[in-house]
């Protein structure tokens, strides 16, 4: 007799967007851009006013200041140039994981169509709700309770589908069963991969260094000016603010204006036709919840309950690829 142990999943690691005041401001570019631009312009103005206190600097000192300005500008340009390649791969990787998860869900759907009854309807019903939960995960924005609730619902539905799969293996195995089990096994991995991808960001130390070098460069730019020139005072702060704000948009997918593309999951969600469940609502527990919880710590043959009623979802057409 085949025995399959269902391991209780650990709690998902929270995706914390408020680890500190600086990270919170960086993640919200609608605040980060004006604050950074205004702060850097104030630093340029401070350097210019400080220079006016000693207007009679000799040419040697002026040459040293201008040399320092040129060197800092080169260093700042290198930092800004390397900041985009640090954030862009993170953005592309998260989008690719969305496509990979949609493809894995389509594979599960196609292979579930080949299963015998009543397992086919049970698994397809849970799968439709699972797709809705994953779509809600992408649409939750920076609402941390909604994110965690969507992950919890997805893991609960995974347990239900795995329980039905285990009964299928024990009662009505066929030639499709091995490849269906293989497809089902990819779903938990993709949840963890997408969660970990959102936690992978530019370290706070690198943000601190880039902002520090930007401020130092702006100070030297202002100090090197003998006369006020608004364009010269604006160019460096504006360039830095634009580039660092773009890096922030790419590095923080749930805040700001640039978001990860969820079209692959959304198209599948529309095809399956099951309405999303509100993440933060107190939904009643499914009829099989107790059996699933008990199965986590017991062998499956000890479960005596039968399959739950099929969900009232629209029939799912077999996708061909």
Give the DSSP per-residue string, 181-232: HHHHHHHHHHHHHHHHHHH----HHHHHHHHHHHHHHHHHHHHT-SS--HHH
According to the model, what pLDDT value does residue 44 have? 92
Chain segment 252-270, per-residue pLDDT in tens: 877 767 777 777 878 878 8
Binned at pLDDT 50, 70 and 90, residue 309 comes out as: very low
Closest C-alpha to 237, from 208, 259, 258, 216 = 216
For helices 204-223 and 29-52, give the axis angle rounded to 10 degrees.
30
8-state DSSP, 318: P
Average pLDDT over residues 23-43: 89
Residue 21, classed as helix, strand or coil, is helix
Distance CA 1, CA 16 (A): 45
**Residue 169 pLDDT > 80:** yes
Chain segment 171-182, per-residue pLDDT in tens: 888 888 888 888
* Most confident stretch, 10-14, 83-87, 215-219, 279-283: 215-219
Mean pLDDT of the chain: 75
Identify the weakest region by mean pLDDT among 6-15, 115-124, 264-273.
6-15
Going from N- to C-terminal start, the domains of the chain cover 21-275
Closest C-alpha to 42, from 215, 242, 226, 245 = 215
**Residue 2 pLDDT > 80:** no
8-state DSSP, 255: S
* More confident site: 318 or 181: 181
Q: Please report the sign of the dihedral spanned by the C-alpha atoms of residue 92, residue 98, residue 104, residue 110.
A: negative
**Residue 88 pLDDT > 90:** no
According to the model, what pLDDT value does residue 56 have? 64
Distance CA 202, CA 63 (A): 36
According to the model, what pLDDT value does residue 55 have? 66
* More confident site: 218 or 139: 218
**Residue 15 pLDDT > 80:** no
């Amino acid at each position: 007799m085949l025995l399959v142990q269902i391991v209780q999943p650990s709690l998902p690691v929270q995706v914390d967007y408020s680890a500190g005041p600086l990270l919170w401001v960086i993640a919200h570019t609608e605040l980060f851009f004006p604050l950074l631009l205004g702060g850097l312009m104030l630093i340029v103005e401070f350097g210019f006013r400080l220079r006016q206190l000693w207007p009679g600097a000799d040419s040697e000192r002026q040459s040293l200041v201008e040399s320092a300005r040129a060197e800092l500008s080169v260093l700042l340009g290198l930092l800004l140039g390397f900041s985009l390649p640090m954030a862009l791969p993170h953005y592309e990787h998260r989008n690719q994981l969305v496509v990979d998860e949609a493809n894995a869900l389509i594979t599960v759907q196609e292979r579930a169509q080949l299963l015998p009854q009543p397992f086919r309807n049970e698994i397809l019903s849970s799968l439709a709700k699972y797709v809705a939960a994953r779509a809600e995960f992408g649409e939750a924005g920076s609402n941390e309770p909604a994110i965690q609730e969507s992950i919890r619902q997805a893991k609960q539905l995974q347990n239900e589908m795995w329980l039905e799969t285990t009964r299928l293996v024990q009662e009505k195995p066929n030639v499709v069963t091995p490849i269906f089990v293989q497809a089902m096994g990819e779903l938990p991995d993709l949840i963890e991969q997408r969660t970990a991808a959102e936690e992978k960001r530019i370290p706070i130390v690198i943000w601190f260094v880039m902002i520090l070098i930007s401020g130092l460069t702006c100070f030297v730019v202002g100090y090197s000016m003998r006369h006020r020139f608004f364009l010269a005072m604006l160019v460096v702060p504006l360039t830095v603010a634009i580039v660092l704000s773009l890096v922030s948009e790419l590095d923080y997918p749930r805040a700001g204006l640039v978001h990860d593309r969820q079209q692959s999951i959304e198209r599948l969600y529309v095809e399956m036709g099951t309405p999303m469940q509100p993440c933060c609502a107190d939904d009643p527990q499914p009829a099989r919840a107790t059996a699933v919880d008990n199965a986590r710590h017991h062998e499956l043959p000890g479960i005596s309950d039968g399959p739950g009623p099929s969900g009232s979802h629209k029939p799912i057409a077999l996708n061909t690829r």
